[in-house]
Amino acid sequence: MDSLKNIPALKSKWLSACASMVASWMLRFLLLAFPGFFKRWLSDPMTLQIEEYHGMSSRNKFFDALELYLQSKISPSTRLLKIAQTRKDTSFGIHFSDNQEFDDVYEEIQLKWKFISISKESSHTTLASKKKHYFELSFDFKHKEMVMNSYLPYVLERFKAMKDERKLVKLHTLVRLDPNKVKWDAINLEHPATFGTLAMDSELKRSVLEDLDKFVKRKEFYQRVGRAWKRGYLLYGPPGTGKSSLVAAIANYLKFDIYDLQLTHLKSDMELRRAMVATTNKSILVIEDIDCSQAELQDRKYGKGIKKNESEGNQITLSGLLNFTDGLWSNCGEERIIVFTTNHKSKLDPALLRSGRMDMHIHMSYCSYEGFKTLTSNYLGICGHHPLFEKIEILLQNTKVTPAQVTEALMKSEDVEVSLQGLITMLKENRYKGKDEYRDEDEENQLTYFI
C-alpha cells in the first residue's frame, strides 16, 4: 500500500525531470537557431540619435557624414533604394528609405544603424522641410566608451576619405556682379591631364610628385615652425610646354580646386583681399603670365595709364599681391598651393622669386624624346618601339619644338605612319629656325628648390 501511495510523487518527479530536460533542449535549440535574438534580449541596449539639424537651422555635419558612410553598408539583399540626380550632378545619388537598417562591426562590436523619416506636425513648414530625418545607432551599453571615443571618430575619418575619392575638382573664375563687387563662379574641371599623360621628363615628374606628397602630409610641421601651410611653384618656359596642363594634373592628383586669379578683373588691393579670403582650403591659386600682370601692376603703381579721376586708393599693387603670398594675409587658410606661370623668368621682379614665395622653380622645357614617347602613347596608342623613332630621337636632340607642336603634328592623321612622317617633316622645318629667345633661362636646370 505504501508503494502505491508513492506513485504520484514519483510520477511528479519524473514529469518535472522530463519538463526540465525538454526545456533545456528547447533553449539549446533556440540559442543555436536564433543566437542574435537572445544576444540582444540579454544585452543592455543603448541608442544614439543623430538628427539632420541641430537647433532650428544649423545642419548637423555628422548626419551628412553618415549619409555617405552608410552607403557602403547597404546590404546586397536590400530591395528598396531611392535614386536621384540633380541638375549639377554627374552621377546618380543614393538616398535611404524610411526605417532602412544597416549592420556594422567595429572591433568585434555589433552595431545597428537605422534611418528614420517622420512627418512634422507644424503647418508652417515648406514641402521640402515637412520631414524630420535622423539616424539611430543601437549597441550594447558596455561598449559606450569604445563607440563614443573610437568608432564615431572612425566614421568621420572614413567619410573624409570617401568624400575625397568622389570629389569633383572645380575651376573657379572671377565674375563682376556690379561695379563694386566680384565673386568666384565655379564649373567642374573637365581637364583630363594626369602625371601619366604629361610630356615631362620622368625625373622631373617624380620630384614634383614627391614634393606634393610631402607638402600635404606636413600640417604639424608647418604649425610647429610657425609658417602658413602653403607651397609656391613658379612654372616657366616657352608657350606650349605644358604649364597649364601641369596645373590641371596637380589639381586632379590632389583633388584640389583651382582658383584662376586674373588680376585685370580686380580694381584694388581691397578687392584682391576679398577674393583671396573667399578661396577655400585645399585649393590651388593660379596667376598665369605673371610677367604681363607684373608690368600692369607696375604701370598702376607709378600712375601710367590711370585716369585722372581715379583715386589713388582704387588700385591693385605689386606689394598688395606679395602680401598674400607670404605676408599676414597668407595665413587666411591652409593647405594651399600658389602657382605663378611665365614665359620669361628673367623679366620677373626678384621680389616674386625669393624663398618663401616661390618654393620651387620648375622649368617647362622643349619636348624631349621621353616626352615624345608619352605623346605617341597618348595619341597613337604606341606603347613600344617603332622603326621611325630613332630618326625622330636624333631630330629632337637638335630641334627646339614644344610638346604642343608635337601634339599638333601627331593629331593630323590617325594613321601611325602618316602621323610620324608628318612629325619628321615638321622637325626638319624647325631645325634651322632663328635664335631661340627662351634658351638663356636656366635651360640646364629644370628644377630649383628654395627651402
In this predicted model, what pLDDT tens digit does every residue of 153-180 receive, in sequence order?
999 999 988 888 878 899 999 998 888 8
Q: Indicate whether 3 pLDDT > 60.
A: no
Contact (Cβ atoms closer than 8 angstroms) between residue 38 and residue 31: yes
Query: Whole-number mean pLDDT of the chain?
Result: 81
Most confident of 2-11, 81-90, 361-370: 361-370
Most confident of 21-25, 124-128, 207-211: 207-211
**261 vs 267: CA distance, rounded Å:** 13
Min mean pLDDT across 4-18, 37-51, 337-351, 408-422 is at 4-18
What is the DSSP secondary structure assignment for residue 351, as one 8-state letter? H
pLDDT category at 307 given cuts 50, 70, 90 is very low
**264 vs 289: CA distance, rounded Å:** 12
Contact (Cβ atoms closer than 8 angstroms) between residue 137 and residue 111: yes
**284 vs 241: CA distance, rounded Å:** 20
Question: Looking at per-residue confidence, does 350 or 115 come out higher?
Answer: 115
Q: Indicate whether 146 pLDDT > 70.
A: yes
Q: 268 is written with which cell numbers?
A: 584694388
Contact (Cβ atoms closer than 8 angstroms) between residue 170 and residue 257: yes
Q: Which domains does the chain have, with CATH numbers?
A: 45-166 (no CATH), 170-364 (3.40.50.300), 369-430 (no CATH)
Sequential DSSP letters for 318-333: HHHHHHHHHSGGGGSS
| Close Cβ partners of 297 (under 8 Å, ≥ 6 residues apart) | 263, 316, 317, 318, 321
Min mean pLDDT across 248-257, 335-344, 379-388, 430-439 is at 430-439
User: What local confidence, expressed as pLDDT, does residue 266 receive?
Assistant: 86
Residue 113 bridge partners (DSSP):
102, 137
